[in-house]
Amino acid sequence: MTSTRTRILTAIVMPVLLFLTACGVNSIPTAEENAKAKWADVQSQYQRRADLIPNLVATVQGYAKQEKDVLTSVVEARAKATSVRIDASQLDDPAKLKQFLDAQGQLTGALGRLLAVSENYPDLKSNQNFLALQSQLEGTENRIAVARRDYIEAVREYNTTLKTFPGLLWAATFFRSNKPMAEFAASDSAQTPPQVKF
């Protein structure tokens, strides 16, 4: 009697389990976790940049004492950029994401002005420490660009999964609390190239 129940239960449960594993029920949480991981990569690259800035500023300060305004703006922008945080649970809030991206944009602009200042100081341009830090910053900016691109793609996949079949069915039943994540958008100031003045 028990073995008959077990066979019947197995005959019913196994096809249901196979159906659930093959029908995409896991696609929403998988895409969501992927997007969150990509956001962590973006934050990691921004943190790397923030960690390099004090070294760059200290190197430039030794050569460009009269350019304190630019150095001060870099330090202030770094402080603001590192104070604005957004974690993976806030990725569906476009206002929070915009606030974070605006702070990072201000830091990018301040760094551009700092690098432009370096053009006025031939000794600074040839200083090995400055060249190494400038190279690290350039590499970091490239890493940030790659991390942002990967995040954009992961969010696109997640949001598409929520809106297309069969993910649409799962989003309406098992994953009702899942909302589309905010897409990464460049700030308005990113459309204007930085001005380099000597």
Does residue 35 lie within any of the structural domains? yes
Does residue 101 lie within any of the structural domains? yes
How many whole angstroms separate alpha carbon 164 and alpha carbon 27? 11
Does residue 51 lie within any of the structural domains? yes
- Asked if residue 71 lies in contact with residue 118, where contact means CB atoms within 8 angstroms, the answer is no
Does residue 55 lie within any of the structural domains? yes
Name residue, tokens 């949001």. Answer: 159
Does residue 198 lie within any of the structural domains? no
CB atoms within 10 A of CB 18: 10
Does residue 196 lie within any of the structural domains? no
CATH number at residue 18: 1.20.1440.20
How many whole angstroms separate alpha carbon 46 and alpha carbon 44? 5
Does residue 91 lie within any of the structural domains? yes
SS3 196: coil
How many CA atoms, within 13 angstroms, populate the side-chain half-sphere of residue 82?
A: 13
Q: How many domains does the chain have?
A: 1
Does residue 170 lie within any of the structural domains? yes
**Tens digit of pLDDT at every position of the chain (198 positions):** 568 888 877 778 777 666 655 567 789 999 999 999 999 999 999 998 888 888 777 777 776 665 677 778 888 888 888 888 888 888 888 888 888 888 888 888 888 887 777 776 666 655 777 777 788 888 988 999 999 999 999 999 999 999 998 888 888 888 999 999 988 777 766 556 555 343
The pLDDT of residue 142 is: 92
How many CA atoms, within 13 angstroms, populate the side-chain half-sphere of residue 8?
A: 5
The pLDDT of residue 37 is: 95
* DSSP character string of 178-194: --PPPPP---GGGGSPP
Domain enclosing residue 103, as ranges: 2-191
How much helix, strand and coil, in percent to the nearest 5, is found in the chain? 80, 0, 20
